[in-house]
Amino acid sequence: MKLRTALMIGAACVSLATFGAKKNTAASGNPFLSEYKTKYEIPPFDKIKLEHYLPAIEAGIKEQNAEIAAIVANPAKPDFDNTVLALDNSGNTLSKVSYVFLALSESDATDEMQELAKKVSPMLTAQNDEIYMNDALFARIKAVHDNADALGLDAMQKRLTEKYYKRFVRNGALLSPADKEKLKELNRQEAELELSFANNVMHEMSSNVIYVTDKKRLAGLSQTTIDDAAALAAKKGHEGWAFTPTGATRLAVLGSADDRALREEMYKLYTNTASRGDEWDNSKNINAIIQIRQQKAKMLGFETFADYAVDPVMAHKVEAAEDLLMQIWRPAIAKVAEEVADMQDYANRHGANITIEPWDYYYYAEKVKAEKFNFSEDQVAPYFELNSVVKNGIFYAANKLYGITFTEMKDAPKYNPEVTVYDVKDEKGNHVAVFMTDYYPRAIKAQGAWMSEMNSEYNYQGKSVRPIIFNVASLTPPTKDAPSLLSMDEVETVFHEFGHALHGMLTRAPFHSLQGTNVDRDLVEMPSQINEHWALVPEVLKNYARHYKTGEVIPQELIDKLIDSHKFNQGFMTTELVGAALLDIEWHKLNWCKDVDVKAFEQSVKKRLRMPREVEFRYRSPYFKHIFDNDQYSCGYYTYLWSQVLETDGWERFAEEGPFNKAVANDYRKYILEAGDAEDPMKAYIHFRGQEPNADALLRYRGLK
């Protein structure tokens, strides 16, 4: 469920320039160093080779440095256009190549791409430092910032100027020359460590395998899971069946395998990812990353990195984030006790003669769910065919709400044959965006699901560029006998990531750094999470949930069971999520620079929280990529919950006035989806909702109150 965006490259964070940069015509044959000739300037993936990246990045850095030098040398008095806007529009070539490289380094992460990343990541980090520690450039930014009223800046121009000013300060612009050099070195080291962390996780996820040769041990698993396991074993040159701890496979085993020993083996394989004491152990990376972040925070005037991370966003104080989490935590763990009691009762009544352990949770939750609601995921999977979920689900709802249509571009360039490309248009037939989907697992694809972009929207002074947005996931793949049939959780993942995509596609902000998902972390998950609600709106559900063989619409009886059971097991799901968010905060509240035992640290956090022993953090530290493979969500994983408070409170307006009420949809589009970071996010939310949010709606929605 993670939103993925590019590293901060050059002037803009994520949204890099497409205007104002000189075209580099050197090194002909390198697609990045000339204009794309493709429709909507989709990157020409078929022409891009591994050897093109490094020269293009080097050329892009040189080009942007020349642009920055020109801003600094400009004899005119600093103003918005010649300083702030010029900075926001710098780095065209670097932007082009970085978008593609960062996208493919996770979705098609070959060994060669991972090796190249080891060279590229420090270069991008260093370039970021060169810009944000440029004294002369900061002096001009500060001059515009301090004289905004005298210069007649409008609200949007002030917003962008303020954003850059704060970004400079948070990146060390006020430090002494010696401390700036020290910060640059710390940034370089951190980038290398984060890359090492990510590579270790990817290696472990693809290399750790459970082999099964006794067919009896497969009891309870779906034929699809069994067939996939047989194919993987054959691919690896083994007899029988092979299971990796990747998302869909792991959950299938934990939720369905009757063989308790197999469930335990899978659980322990996954929860010990990158923590086994060998060369792929991330303990050293974690300690080094935390220590570097604490050093940086202190240099920048904060007691801890947690204080630094939370300061510029909606929460502002670590205590505010923790208070929100604890409001949810207490009722969540109380609900876990009820859920475990129900599972233990079921196990006892069926002669299992066990005590419920963490590897039993998914399995017995399904058993209790089936008994309590006469319902199981297997009943609905045949109705959740991926193509129908996409075309008759997310596209259908988006058309009803926002009037946009999606037409497949069969001849469009693709970075992988499994990618599908769509031309998105509005009611009048105007081009809105390009949308790409990449839904199936690959050995060289990072785990999880995310949204990102291949360019940056821009809409200022008559110039307009529309975005190229993509969703990536690792959903249940098709088999030789059936198409891709999804679980309800996977359906929600599709709707979730598409919510991010809508945020990116519908943006109308004028400047790169204010467009789309360039909003506070506290708000960025709201559009994705609120979009999940349409998955269970009866009109939408009946439109996409059709049996893949017969075309039969999902029966009302199943719909009722699906909705009735939707709040089931929310204690577990909420506890593992809130637990991970609190673990993240605890790591970044550390204010000393010494190594800690990672497992012991986690156990101490669990003890203080009185975490139920049957529940593990959603991500244990050694594979907690959200917070350790970059710092986008560092001390920010809590924002999933913060955003869910906004989401559930905001959804209540749709629920009260109608899920397809045009007035509500228009307000939501105007103040949230189109606005980007045009104004303070709480003000934007209040414009849409008419009130400030509170946690009650979330607790009600999850059945915890």
pLDDT of 555? 95
| One domain, residues 142 and 261 | no
Same domain, 156 and 214: no
DSSP H helices, 171-222, are 177-207
For the chain, how many helices (H) and strands (E)? 29, 11
What is the mean pLDDT of the segment spanning 53-72?
97
- Based on the fold, state whether residues 505 and 532 are members of the same structural domain: yes
The per-residue pLDDT for 564 is 86
Domain end (from 513, 531, 561): 561
Residues 22 and 140 in one domain: yes
Is residue 18 in some structural domain? yes
Q: Is the pLDDT of residue 18 over 60?
A: no
pTM for the structure as a whole: 0.85
* Total length of the chain: 705
Q: What tokens were used for 414? A: 């693709």
246, pLDDT greater than 90:
no
Could you tell me the pLDDT band of residue 480, with boundaries at 50, 70 and 90?
A: confident
Residue type, 216: K
Q: Which of 382, 150, 359, 136 is nearest to 254 (CA)?
A: 359
**What is the rounded distance in angstroms from the CA atom of residue 300 to the CA atom of residue 571?**
39
Domain with residue 633: its CATH number is: 1.10.1370.10
Beta bridge pairs of residue 420? 437
- 563 — pLDDT class (breaks 50, 70, 90): confident
Quick check: is 146 in a domain?
yes
CA dist., res. 641 & res. 501, Å (int): 20
Split at pLDDT 50, 70, 90, the class of 13 is very low
**624: in domain:** yes
Q: Are residues 616 and 693 part of one domain?
A: yes
Claim to verify: residue 494 and residue 643 sit in the same structural domain: no
Mean pLDDT of the chain: 92
What is the distance, to the nearest Å, from the Cα of residue 599 to the centroid of all Cα atoms in its chain?
26
Q: 259 and 216: one domain?
A: yes
Q: Residue 25's pLDDT is what?
A: 34
Q: What distance in Å separates the CA atoms of residue 413 and residue 404, rounded to the nearest whole number?
A: 22
User: And the tokens for 200?
Assistant: 């270790």
- 359 with 411, same domain: the answer is no
Q: How many domains does the chain have?
A: 4
* Listed residue (679, 586, 568, 518) closest to 325, CA to CA: 586
> How much is the average pLDDT of 306-313?
93
Structural domain contains residue 311? no
User: pLDDT tens-digit profile of 361-370?
Assistant: 999 999 999 9
Domain span including residue 449? 381-561
Q: Report helix, strand or coil for 397.
A: helix
Catalytic pick among 194, 204, 492, 497: 497
Quick one: which of 477, 469, 414 has its CA closest to 443? 477
Domain CATH for 70: 1.10.1370.40
Could you tell me which of 361, 368, 664, 682 has the C-alpha nearest to residue 533? 664
Residue with tokens 């708000």: 523
Q: pLDDT digit string (tens) for 200-214?
A: 998 898 889 999 999
Q: Read out DSSP for 611-675?
A: --TT---SS-GGG-HHHHSSSSSTTTTTHHHHHHHHHHHHHHHHHHH-TT-HHHHHHHIIIIITT
End-of-domain residue from the set 504, 533, 561? 561
Residues 258, 343 within the same domain:
no
Model pLDDT, residue 313: 87
With a pLDDT cut of 70, the percent of the chain lying above it is 96
Sign of the torsion angle spanned by Cα atoms 520, 140, 125, 501: positive
Q: Is the dihedral of CA 12, 18, 20, 21 positive or negative?
A: positive
For residue 683, give every residue at least 6 positions away whose Cβ sits within 8 Å of its Cβ, in sequence order, or none.
none
Evaluate whether residue 287 is within a structural domain: no
682 has a pLDDT exceeding 50: yes
**Chain segment 569-626, per-residue pLDDT in tens:** 999 999 999 999 999 999 999 987 789 999 999 999 999 999 999 999 999 999 999 9
C-alpha span between 585 and 641 (Å, rounded): 13
Angle 550-555-558 from CA coordinates, rounded to 5°: 120
pLDDT digits (tens, 9 = 90+) for 364-405: 999 999 999 988 888 999 999 999 999 999 999 999 999 999
How far does CA 141 lie from the centroid of its chain?
31
Other Cβ atoms within 10 Å of 213 Cβ, number? 10
Distance CA 450, CA 434 (A): 16
**pLDDT value at residue 27:** 52
Both 373 and 391 in a single domain? no
pLDDT at 520: 87
Give the mean pLDDT of 69-76: 98
Whether 204 contacts 197, CB under 8 Å: no
Place of tokens 């196990």: 347
Greater pLDDT, 423 or 643: 423
- DSSP labels, 307-352: HHHHTTSSS-SHHHHHHHHHHHHHHHHHHHHHHHHHHHHHHHHTT-
Both tokens of 44, joined, read 């020409």
Contact 31, 44 (CB under 8 A): yes
In a domain, 367, yes or no: yes
The answer to the question of residue 3 being in a domain is no
pLDDT value at 125 more than 70: yes
Residues forming beta bridges with residue 212, ordered by sequence position? 241
Cα 285 from Cα 288, distance rounded (Å): 5
Residue 497 annotated among the catalytic residues of the structure: yes
The token duo for 419 is 């990618």
Domain end point (choices 539, 561, 583): 561
Alpha-carbon distance of 283 to 8, in angstroms, equals 26
Structural domain contains residue 370: yes
pLDDT category at 277 given cuts 50, 70, 90 is confident
**Are residues 95 and 17 part of one domain?**
yes
Question: Does residue 339 share a domain with residue 385?
Answer: no
